[in-house]
Amino acid sequence: MPADPAHHVSRSQPLGSQPHGVRASAVEVRRSARRRRTVSAYREGNRTIVLIPARMSAAEEQRWVTVMLDKLAAQESKRMLGDAELAERAEWLSTQYLGGRAAPDSVRWVTNQNTRWGSCTPAEGSIRLSHRLQGMPEYVIDYVLLHELAHLLVPGHGPRFWKLLDAYPRTERARGYLEGVVAAGRLPHLPAARDEEHAQ
């Protein structure tokens, strides 16, 4: 993509460590006087470039960076996560947040879970994630996967269980996202996602 002379680089922001397969490690925001209402984003090497109108406030910039990162992550999750990648991700999450103590025998997608996001059978060491999660942002899939991994260590949802999930920094955000998906499912219509989003 050719450089836009009207672009102004607002800032470069490092992100936290990511699991294997996630390419972006920093966000670069570029402001453009030629952009009026659209916001777009793309990957460039190990960076994510977010293009926004020059007039945007810092708060609007942060909000749109979050929106576009989630959108890119959802697109990448849909493309790249098969059962093998899911098992690899589970191993990474267990090591990162549970000291490697949760070691499932199998991790796979299933299409017969329409009322739950995931399930775990500790006696079999098996974890199953609903296919409805495919295409959601990676941090949401990570949360559900980590939730089921924690059940290998603690079966119920008591204080010990939630203490394990406290280690994952995006627990509340992921739970909010899933609650939003459930609420949106009750709406009659949602606009289709596009490569470029319009700022309000």
Beta strand 26-32 pairing with 47-53: parallel
| pTM for this prediction | 0.57
Minimal CA–CA distance to 177: which of 15, 81, 78, 66? 66
Distances from the Cα of 179 to the Cα of 30, 63, 172, 176, angstroms: 32, 19, 10, 5
pLDDT of residue 104: 94
pLDDT of residue 6: 42
pLDDT of residue 36: 80
pLDDT of residue 193: 37
The DSSP secondary structure of the chain, one letter per residue, reads: ----TTEEEEEEEEPPP--TT----EEEEEEETT-SSEEEEEEETTEEEEEEETT--HHHHHHHHHHHHHHHHHHHHHHH--HHHHHHHHHHHHHHHSTT----SEEEEESS-SS-SEEEETTTTEEEEEGGGTTS-HHHHHHHHHHHHHHTT--S-SHHHHHHHTTSTTHHHHHHHHHHHHHHTTSS--PPP-SSEE--
Q: Round the CA-based radius of gyration of the chain to a whole number and report it.
A: 19
**CB 92 within 8 Å of CB 19:** yes
In which residue ranges of the chain is pLDDT below 70? 1-25, 45-46, 76-81, 186-200
Six token digits for residue 181: 């998906």
pLDDT of residue 76: 66
Minimal CA–CA distance to 164: which of 152, 177, 176, 179? 152
pLDDT of residue 42: 84
**CB 19 within 8 Å of CB 28:** no
pLDDT of residue 135: 77
